[in-house]
Structure 1
Amino acid sequence: MSDLAPLLSNKVIIALLLIASYTYYIILTLYFRPVNHSWLSDVHNWQMGLLALIASQPLLGLLGTIQGLLDTFEFISIFDALSQQAVMSGGISGALITTKLGLVLAIPSLILRQLLLFKYKKQQGIL
């Protein structure tokens, strides 16, 4: 658990986890609901919102990486006496975690949305 504490103190990681959880919740709730006219309407209405939620995940990850790099460079400029290589490698490694997390969370979101869209199109008779 001690390895997770620094990650869970990062506001970008918290935002990523919340957005991804909400996205998964919406998609899975829609997918497993009984199919009727209301379902068709809800799936249709959620398409643009889902795309926005999914697109925000890797963008938030990139924002976290940029913030982490800026924090690392600021730390180096303040504490010039420390070994800059050790600080740089640790800071960059920590910063890149948010980009990785954003991508790891967005990929299943895209796959689940496509499955929902496939089911929707099948019910509409498009496929």
Structure 2
Amino acid sequence: MPLYYFTINNTNGTFNIVLKKNNCEVIARSEDKIRGDINTVIEDINEVASSKSKERFEISTDKSGNYRFRLKRENGEVLLVSEPFANRGVLEEVIDEIVSTVHESRVEMVNS
């Protein structure tokens, strides 16, 4: 099942990206408000995520003991941060789903 990007255009010229499953479950979101061309950023996310290079997905444990991933560019810039997952296995399944379907993702834009 393909994923989709829900983008929020802010009034100050920045935007946020939310990566969702088709059932509207949020998987990950941009850490900060982003400036620049939204299509370029989404293309970068697709390229990094579909590179089959799982080391781009940095898995960590948050203060609550939940697992999260950060999708990073080669230069270390964080593109997306996942929602918390109680089970590492489920998180790894989500990463596999992103790697295998992100190139099919559609984009839905809204203004805030």
TM-score for both structures, normalised by structure 2: 0.27
Higher-Rg structure is 1
Q: Which has the higher helix share?
A: 1
- More strand per residue: 1 or 2? 2
